[in-house]
Amino acid sequence: MTRLLRLLPLLLLFAAVLAHALPRSEPVPGGVVVLESDTPVERAWLGKRRLAVLPSDRGSIVVAGIPLSSAAGPVRIRLRFSDGREQERTVRIRPHDYPVQRLVIKDKRKVEPLAEDLKRIRAEQKKKHAALATWSGHIPDLSFRWPVEGIVSSRFGLRRYLNGKPRRPHGGLDIAAPEGTPVRAPADGTVLLADDFFFSGNVVYLDHGEGVISYYAHLSEKSVRPGEKVRAGQVIGKVGKTGRVTGPHLHWGVYLNGTAVNPELFLDSPNPP
Ligand SMILES: [Zn+2]
């Protein structure tokens, strides 16, 4: 008993580490659903999308990204256990009203691209989709640290109008910072893509494992190459204003099962350092 008591702080610390390693469950469009299973899960799906499965002290934890375009209401998550049995869990997605944001972009071509730009944009979308479809078996550390020092300038999910025209909702979190501020990996990962895109400027994509991908846009500089392994806190680039921007900032995206989710759900502190 005494020995167990002596071990208790260590056990509590271990439990805290496990608890911290998960995003907050927020079952809304653009949010994250965290499901626990006492039976070890071999694979899990939302529709046809494979979901991240993490080991836990009791069994498994399934982490699902809910698309921003999802309607409120029930979604079914399919689990397959190690013994081949399957189970369906129903999760109710709550409605969430994301605010509207109207922006004025001076470079009109970045809002209404020319025919010659469209070819480039389509090629870049292919690269992006390939990056987001990456699946590596590495178990991701989902307790992220802020990738940059600065001020949150646009939250995730804002319904955007650019120069008065409706555009896709904001798929990431914008952090305003002076040009040249170092951008750091929020967790260990592997560089999938380091490229220069029409809308996003200089971009870096990191693979954290189990379909968890993070994305950094508008960089002035990329400091990593595809295939390179990075550690949490390692500099991967610098804040810039390349691509479609109103000023220097980092656009930070987090993707689960190929879908953009709110990066703030992966952070412990509400504000960047
Ligand atoms: Zn952004």
The CATH number for 36's domain is: 2.60.40.1590
What is the per-residue pLDDT across 105-127, written as a single tens digit (0 to 9) for each?
788 887 788 888 899 999 999 99
Greater confidence (10 vs 221) lies with: 221
CA of 218 to the centre of ligand 1 (A): 9
Which among 85, 89, 91, 21 has a CA at the least distance from the CA of 55? 21
CA of 4 to the centre of ligand 1 (A): 49
| Angle, vertex CA 21, rays to CA 195 and CA 227, nearest 5 | 25
CA of 173 to the centre of ligand 1 (A): 6
CA of 256 to the centre of ligand 1 (A): 17
CA of 81 to the centre of ligand 1 (A): 38
CA of 249 to the centre of ligand 1 (A): 8
**At 7, is the pLDDT very low, low, confident or very high (cuts 50, 70, 90)?**
low
CA of 55 to the centre of ligand 1 (A): 32
CA of 171 to the centre of ligand 1 (A): 7
CA of 102 to the centre of ligand 1 (A): 13
For residues 123 and 255, membership in a common domain is answered with yes
For residues 259 and 240, membership in a common domain is answered with yes
Domain of 120?
Answer: 100-266
Give the pLDDT of residue 246.
Answer: 85
Is 262 part of any domain? Answer: yes
Greater confidence (219 vs 18) lies with: 219
| Least confident range of 111-115, 172-176, 235-239 | 111-115
For residues 117 and 179, membership in a common domain is answered with yes
Domain total of the chain: 2
**What average pLDDT does the structure give for the chain?**
91
Greater confidence (167 vs 85) lies with: 85
CA distance 140 to 52: 9
For residues 134 and 81, membership in a common domain is answered with no
Structure tokens at 19: 């608890």
CA of 159 to the centre of ligand 1 (A): 12
Is 203 part of any domain? Answer: yes
CA of 217 to the centre of ligand 1 (A): 8
**At 8, is the pLDDT very low, low, confident or very high (cuts 50, 70, 90)?**
low
For residues 55 and 135, membership in a common domain is answered with no
For residues 215 and 184, membership in a common domain is answered with yes
ipTM confidence score: 0.99
CA of 28 to the centre of ligand 1 (A): 20
| Angle, vertex CA 124, rays to CA 121 and CA 125, nearest 5 | 85
223: left (phi over 0), alpha (psi -120 to 50) or beta: alpha
Which among 194, 178, 183, 193 has a CA at the least distance from the CA of 235? 183
Give the pLDDT of residue 232.
Answer: 97
Is 131 part of any domain? Answer: yes
